[in-house]
Amino acid sequence: MSALDRVLQNELLERMAAAYPSAVDFSGHNGERSINEIHATLAYLHEHRLAKLTLERYLDNSLQTFTGQITAKGLDFLADDGGLGAILDVVIVKLHHDTVRDLLVARIEDSTADASVKGRMVSALKDLPAAAMQRVAQQAIDAGLRQLPNAVQWVQNAIGSV
């Protein structure tokens, strides 16, 4: 029995999902699968926090799985969209268009371009409506990321300074 039997993993998760929020009794008949296959697969799902197990150790030191219950993480996994976990774990970063405009103006003013060119660019940026500023901001972020010679090192340094 391989703990990576994806078909069996899915079968067990689906069976527990159908019974949710109740637990499923796996101590009885399990079709063509042996109790050892069921136990090993449930233990694997438990280690990945997709299921909770109720186990009992017998006198001969063997383990018997009595029940398995799918967790919220298991339900989200079956949903294949990340479920609430994907929604709750999302970090939203909002930059007001004025903040982006100020950052771009600062970059223009720090540049070595001719003063008249800088003036026209700053004036054009200040006259842009919010929707157009959003498109400029997206393009600026994309262009900036493309210019990173070593994005991994840059992110590592940025995270280290937080």
Give the C-alpha separation, 99 to 92, whole Å: 16
Task: Check: CB of residue 12 under 8 Å from CB of residue 33.
Answer: no
Q: Which is it for the CA torsion 20, 82, 53, 24, positive or negative?
A: positive
Residue entry with tokens 């990340």: 82
pLDDT tens for each residue of 109-157:
999 999 999 999 999 988 888 888 888 888 888 888 787 777 778 778 8
Q: Which of 3-12, 26-35, 70-79 has the highest mean pLDDT?
A: 70-79
Spell out the domains of the chain, with CATH numbers in brackets.
6-88 (1.10.10), 97-160 (no CATH)
Quickly tell me which residue has 């997709």 as its tokens.
Answer: 50
Query: Tokens representing 75?
Result: 């339900």
For residue 53, pLDDT over 70 is answered with: yes
Contact between 69 and 24 under an 8 Å Cβ cutoff? The reply is: yes
Packing angle of the helix pair 6-19, 35-47 (nearest 10 deg): 80
What is the Cα–Cα distance from 28 to 25, expressed in whole angstroms? 7
Sign of CA dihedral 14, 16, 19, 25: positive
Over the stretch 73-88, which tens digit does the pLDDT of each residue have?
999 889 877 777 777 7
Classify strands 24-25 and 51-57 as parallel, antiparallel or unpaired. Answer: unpaired
Q: Residue 133 is which amino acid?
A: M
pTM: 0.52
Q: Strands across the sheet with 51-57, in order?
A: 24-25, 63-70, 51-57
Confidence of residue 96 (pLDDT cuts 50, 70, 90): confident
CA torsion through residues 22, 88, 8, 45, sign: negative
Tell me how far apart the alpha carbons of residues 74 and 84 are, in angstroms, rounded to a whole number.
11
